[in-house]
Chain A
Amino acid sequence: MPTNGKLNILLVTVIFILASVQVFLLNRYSTMGDSWNNIDAETTKTARENDILNQKIASASAISSLSARAEKLGLVNGSKIISLTKNLPLAYSLDNSL
């Protein structure tokens, strides 16, 4: 059975070690602001790049752009459209003529 003196030394040592670990971890955590800023900046940069790409997609798919490109490729408006069927009614109404 360790004596009271040795027990006290052990306790003090453990407390000292735990306190040191706490200080170390807290210090690391508190000074991670720089890394946080970098991650935040990267996120913002990626979001902005997404916005720019969205705008480019929107511009490229704009109807005026597509129309101009179609004209350049030689596509023209259809002058004659042939329908294979007429619009058929869903139902006929009964009247005295039938």
Chain B
Amino acid sequence: MIVSSFFLLFFLGIILRLFYWQVVQADKLEGLAEKQRMTTLPITAQRGQIFSSDGSPLVLNQRSFGVYLEPKNITDLPKVMDILSKDLSIPVSTISARLDGSTALWLPLAHRVDENAVNAVKNENLKGIEFLDEPKRYYPESSMAAHLLGFVGKNSAGGDQGYFGLEGYYDQQLKGRDGSLSQETDALGNPILSGNIEKIPAENGRDLILYLDKTIQYIVEKELLSGIQQFGAKGGSVIVMDPQSGGILAMASYPSYDPGNYLNFPAEYYKNPAVASSYEPGSTFKTLVMSSAINDGVITPETKYHEDGPVGIGGYTINTWNQKYHGEISMAQILEYSSNVGMVFIGGKMNKNSFQNYIKNLGFGALTGVDLQEEASPELRPENKWYDIDYATASFGQGIAVTPLQMVRAVSAIANGGRLMEPHVVKSIHLPDGETININPNVEKVVFNRKTTDYVTEMMVEAVDNGETKMIKPAGFRIAGKTGTAQIPISGHYDTSKTIASFVGFAPVDDPRFVMLVTLTEPTTSPWGSETAAPIFFNISKEIFPYLKISPSD
């Protein structure tokens, strides 16, 4: 009896235990079994690449690795440190400091190491060193168009993130989306083909095709750097834009940096001055005020002005830049002589509301909408804070702050018959499935009528042919342009020894293929735009004309 009871209880215990493991713990054990036989691998999405207008690559992806240490598995520490130091160019002291006192199982040592260096380490067959795929960007054109492109760094979660320029603006589109592959594997880790396979394919990032012309960009960078050195300037920028589409054909600024080694450059170099820094445009702004006044009908090209001497406005005296006064002059001659007092006359003819409206309609005081991350815009003076002296100085481009991109876009409206175009760097976006999204040119508004732009264009041609730049302009070509020399405001007053020298223009006049703005910051050989920025403009133009197959017209 006792023995039977014992066996009964024994088997009851077994049954209860089986019930516990097979019913109560069923879900948990099923999960553990699945975890054991199922392997999940991430499928990394490839970041989208960037190409110039002719399809040449500007930014590609390159295989590189993160190097990690497993301190517990390192058997010969001095040998490991020596080899890593030699092959990865990391000081032994740095490696030693990383390992010193660390109890971590897994220590990052270096990121984005080239494949060649990693292969050299792998060939040593050292224990305790692991490698993970960490693709990095490759720039076949080195630091060309660095400010336009931006760079890829890390975000706070350790993932890749684009900063500045196109990498920053289009980061989400370039990034794509990682996928995953879950499959049953055998004891050796090989996939079981007849087992469960769940695949979420990676969605690679989208490629960008730019308006940027590689050849024009090369010419611009070469001539700008040469000009900065020749004229002893602190820096400078050039923008070349297609006035018909708003496409940016070239954009360069110095000082610049190498996006492939951005950490080796000061952070203040990362921001693109052409879209993020402001300056007072000086006499280049006169073309816009002239256009506004003619468009409003308050002056005509036949209007005359008596340039007899300085003018007084609100307790201030305004002179010409060279203290020369020419008597009765035409509106075209006001631009040709770059007469400040003449511009005060023109600005004074305009209704004040109309003057302010033209400034706003030309896009000043607001973002242009260009597809670059760091674009900024200086604010315009509030409408109720404009006094007579402010209208007067604004008429010749002082007392108003603009970005170089705002300036070149506004002058483009003269070149293309009056349309203010939305500037763009990217022309089209290619999706991984082969589809293409074209970014169509966008006319924001029509600011001037055709007659106005025709008149002002001819005035600008005369300013180039008869003004301070007549001796240096390329022979045989009709170029519309205007010099600018603006003093730099410092602590509430203007420093007469420091200027922003600039030249803005477009060509060929009959069918403008490009509008270009050159700005130099604090040139030391001469403060004048006609002697510094203008030569750079013409040197670039001389190389662009044959490249774009533009023949002389004279």
| A residues apposed to B, CB below 8 Å | 26, 29-34, 36-37, 48, 51-52, 54-55, 58-59, 61-64, 67, 77-78, 81, 83, 85-87, 89
Q: How far is the CA of A89 from the CA of B511 in the complex (A)?
A: 9
A63 CB, nearest partner CB in chain B, Å: 5
> How many residue-residue contacts, CB under 8 A, span A and B?
76
A35 and chain B: residue at smallest CB distance: B190
Do residues A55 and B551 form an inter-chain contact, with CB atoms below 8 A? no
Contacts A48-B63, A51-B61; A87 near B192 (Cβ below 8 A) = no
User: Could you write out 22 A-B pairs with CB less than 8 Å apart?
Assistant: A30-B186, A30-B193, A33-B192, A34-B188, A51-B61, A51-B63, A54-B60, A55-B138, A55-B140, A58-B138, A61-B140, A62-B140, A62-B142, A63-B214, A64-B142, A67-B218, A81-B546, A83-B551, A86-B553, A87-B508, A87-B552, A89-B510
Contacts A29-B194, A34-B190, A58-B60; A87 near B551 (Cβ below 8 A) = yes
| 9 nearest CB pairs, A to B | A33-B190, A58-B140, A83-B551, A33-B191, A58-B57, A34-B190, A62-B140, A63-B218, A30-B194
A76 CB, nearest partner CB in chain B, Å: 13
B296 CB, nearest partner CB in chain A, Å: 25
Residues of A within 8 A of B550 (CB): 87
A34 and chain B: residue at smallest CB distance: B190
B224 CB, nearest partner CB in chain A, Å: 15
A25 and chain B: residue at smallest CB distance: B194
Contacts A51-B62, A67-B218; A30 near B553 (Cβ below 8 A) = no
A14 CB, nearest partner CB in chain B, Å: 24
Do residues A83 and B552 form an inter-chain contact, with CB atoms below 8 A? yes
Do residues B553 and A87 form an inter-chain contact, with CB atoms below 8 A? yes
Do residues B57 and A78 form an inter-chain contact, with CB atoms below 8 A? no
Q: How far is the CA of A63 from the CA of B218 in the complex (A)?
A: 7
Contacts A26-B194, A55-B62, A67-B218; A33 near B510 (Cβ below 8 A) = no
Which of chain B's residues 531-554 have a Cβ closer than 8 Å to chain A?
Answer: 543, 545-546, 550-554
Residues of B within 8 A of A87 (CB): 508, 510-511, 550-553
Q: How far is the CA of A13 from the CA of B449 in the complex (A)?
A: 96
Residues of A within 8 A of B379 (CB): none
Do residues B194 and A37 form an inter-chain contact, with CB atoms below 8 A? no
Q: How far is the CA of A7 from the CA of B140 in the complex (A)?
A: 77
Q: Is B141 interfacial (CB 8 A cutoff)?
A: yes
Residues of B within 8 A of A64 (CB): 141-142, 144, 218
B480 CB, nearest partner CB in chain A, Å: 15
Q: How far is the CA of A67 from the CA of B217 in the complex (A)?
A: 13
Do residues A36 and B140 form an inter-chain contact, with CB atoms below 8 A? no
A58 CB, nearest partner CB in chain B, Å: 4
Do residues A63 and B553 form an inter-chain contact, with CB atoms below 8 A? no
Residues of A within 8 A of B141 (CB): 62-64
B475 CB, nearest partner CB in chain A, Å: 11
Contacts A64-B142, A83-B551, A86-B551; A30 near B195 (Cβ below 8 A) = yes
Q: How far is the CA of A48 from the CA of B186 in the complex (A)?
A: 27
| Mask: chain B, 203-223; 1 = CB below 8 Å from A; 0 = not | 000000000001100100000
Do residues A55 and B60 form an inter-chain contact, with CB atoms below 8 A? yes
Residue from B194, B508, B552 whose CB has the most chain A CB atoms within 10 Å: B194
Q: How far is the CA of A86 from the CA of B551 in the complex (A)?
A: 5
Q: How far is the CA of A96 from the CA of B276 in the complex (A)?
A: 49
Contacts A54-B60, A63-B218; A30 near B192 (Cβ below 8 A) = yes
Residues of B within 8 A of A29 (CB): 193-194
Q: How far is the CA of A67 from the CA of B63 in the complex (A)?
A: 27
15 additional A-B residue pairs with CB within 8 Å, beyond A30-B193, A87-B550? A26-B194, A29-B193, A30-B192, A31-B186, A33-B192, A33-B193, A37-B191, A54-B57, A55-B60, A58-B140, A62-B141, A64-B142, A83-B551, A87-B508, A89-B510
